[in-house]
Amino acid sequence: MNNQYSEEKTMKIQSGNNVNKMFGLMLACMAMAACGNREAPVPAPDQGAAQPAATAAQAPDATPANVILWSPPGKTAPADFAQRLRALQDDGAASEVRVVKEYEHEVKEGYGPGFDELAIVQFPSELAYEQWKASPASDFGADVITSRVDVTTERRSRKNDPNRSIYVVSQYETFVSPEAYRIYSEDYINPNMDNQYHSGIMTRYTMYLEREATGGLEHPRAFLVTEYASQSEFDRKASVKDPYKALLLSGTHPEWARLNVEKKKMRRDFTESYAKPVL
């Protein structure tokens, strides 16, 4: 009996030890698993290491900045007006420069001459424009108006050659917000110009809107600058434009027809100049 009891007691002790060992192994495994799932500590940044470059959001604004300069009726541009402005493009300060001289203007009630000479200068960025504006190079005297403008709509053909174009420059005094005028440009000006553009006679058109009123106007003015491929193509203007305008007014384009009536509430047209490049 004693031997049997002793053997049973020994077996129970061994069994208990085995259970304790297994339980210990389970705890050890759980601890190892927890350690494996724990993220490694992030090392402190090395203050001496090279830092990444500035993000795109911190980069200088590279949106082009447009400026129109002109000598108003009764004034004369300086003799070196075109030369000084074209030098900006030659030196890389400006990305595009167009200078034109009025040779004729539309004659009708309320209309008159538009300018002596007019230049459209595009700078690669606002910073480039500000640097030019702050320099003596931007001073053309009291007979030249300089105005910062924004593009509300534009289209340019691969065939466009600014140095060979015949220019038509129409000026308006605007009565609506810049956003409203942009929408008007898209909904009215684009359909009105696109037929001439697609016919090939017109190689470029751009609507510019002043940021601030200049030249004695109460409200900002807009400039519609159109370029015709040559004198012969310009001479075809009426034969291309007039039939298409009649179509737009025939009922097929009710929104355009509505704007054709409402446009007088949005702007006042007062001059249309015909001009050639100053080379």
In angstroms, rounded to a whole number, what is the distance separating the alpha carbons of residues 180 and 185? 9
pLDDT digits (tens, 9 = 90+) for 109-147: 999 999 999 999 999 999 999 999 999 999 999 999 999
Angle at 168 between CA 164 and CA 171, to 5 degrees: 145
CA 94 from centre of chain: 16
Rounded percentage of the chain residues whose pLDDT exceeds 70:
78
Neighbouring residues of 76: CB distance < 8 A, sequence distance ≥ 6: 116, 143
- pLDDT category at 269 given cuts 50, 70, 90 is very high
* pLDDT tens digits for range 1-34: 444 434 444 444 344 444 344 434 443 434 344 4
Interval 27-56: pLDDT, tens:
343 434 443 444 444 444 443 333 333 333
| DSSP string for 13-53 | HHHHHHHHHHHHHHHHHHHHHHHHHSPPPPPPP-TTSPPPP
Calculate the average pLDDT of the chain. Answer: 85
Q: Residue 90: pLDDT above 50?
A: yes
Of residues 208 and 48, the one with the higher pLDDT is 208
Give the pLDDT band (50/70/90) at residue 62. confident
Phi, psi of 227 (to 5 degrees): -125, 130
- What type of residue is 255? E
Note the pLDDT of residue 60.
Answer: 52
Q: Is the pTM of this model over 0.85?
A: no
Q: What is the pLDDT of residue 211?
A: 99
